Every structure is written in structure tokens, then in C-alpha cells.
Amino acid sequence: MNNLNDQMRFPLIEFNSHRIVTSDIELNANTLRLRYSLAITPDLVWPEFSTLERKDQLWRSTCLELFLASPDDPSYLEINLSPSGAWNSYSFTGYREGMKTAPDIKLDEFAVDRPGVISASFLIGRLSGPVLFGPATILADKNGRLRYFATKHGETPDFHNREHHVLVATDDL
């Protein structure tokens, strides 16, 4: 089990490839800070920032994601973030079941530090005990193809699968 002290870096590997992007996660008290960094290529769809707003179905294009769960509870949270400023959070009662918007998760800060680097912080409430983290990224190219990045993959890209998440201790928070 990893310990989440100040910040953890998660390399995200592309499904059926060796290409990597990185995500940094920092959790302090009630604030979750995310930073995703990737190389921008000419074929990548990188939406321009427009406005901060909750929006559904961000995973249909370039989208940065994080899944959070207690290892002993089938319920979990999903956070989605787009370079455009669109974002959302969802709660699930079980594996891909009972999806609903999680209104208690609040976007606190958002910045596109430079093309390919997004930072955001969320007010999420206090986490206790170990937590499963599932950082992931979907990158769309200009031909409409989606590329999937996660810490681990199975036979298909499935970010909801807990077997591909990382167990992190949060006891020191």
C-alpha cells in the first residue's frame, strides 16, 4: 500500500501501447488536488478553455478522470475534468450501477498551466482509512479515435474496474 503524504505521481499507460502520461494527486484534509501532464501532439483534440461548468458525458472526448473508493465499500466516486473548464462528479452504488451527480463535490480551483497540463482542486470532504485511487485519461484525436490511459489495464479499457486502481493510505491526514 502506498502512503499519501504530500503528493503522489501516477504514470498512466495507454491501452495496448507503451505511451505514458502522468497524474499527480495530493490530498490534504478536505481538498483533493489533481494535476495531469501530457505531451500535446498535432493530432490531439485539446479543447480551449471557455468556462467552468458542470457538464455530462465528458468522456466522449479528451477528459481527465479520477475514481475514488473505500476498498471495503462497493460505492465509489468519479471526477471528470476537461481542458475546456467543463467538469463533473458522480457517485455510484456499485460497479457501473446507481450513477448520479455528486453535488457535494465542489470544484475549488482550475488552471490550464500550459497546453497539456491541467491543475484542479476539489472540495470532497474528509477521507479516512485506505482509499483506492483510479486516475485515468481519455485523449481524443482529430480522426475521432479515443485513446485510454490508466495505471493498469485488462483485456479492455475499463476505468471503473477496481483491480486497476491503486490502494493508498490516508491515515496521516
Could you give the domains of the chain?
Answer: 2-169 (2.60.40.1190)
pLDDT value at 1 more than 70: no
- Diameter of the chain measured on Cα atoms: 46
pLDDT at 17 over 50: yes
Higher pLDDT, 147 or 27: 147
d(C-alpha 27, C-alpha 2), whole Å = 13
Q: What is the pTM of this model?
A: 0.90
- What distance in Å separates the CA atoms of residue 81 and residue 63, rounded to the nearest whole number? 6
Q: Please report which helix (H) or strand (E) contains residue 118, including its range.
A: strand 117-123
Each residue's pLDDT tens digit, 65-114: 999 999 999 999 999 999 999 999 999 999 999 999 999 999 999 999 88
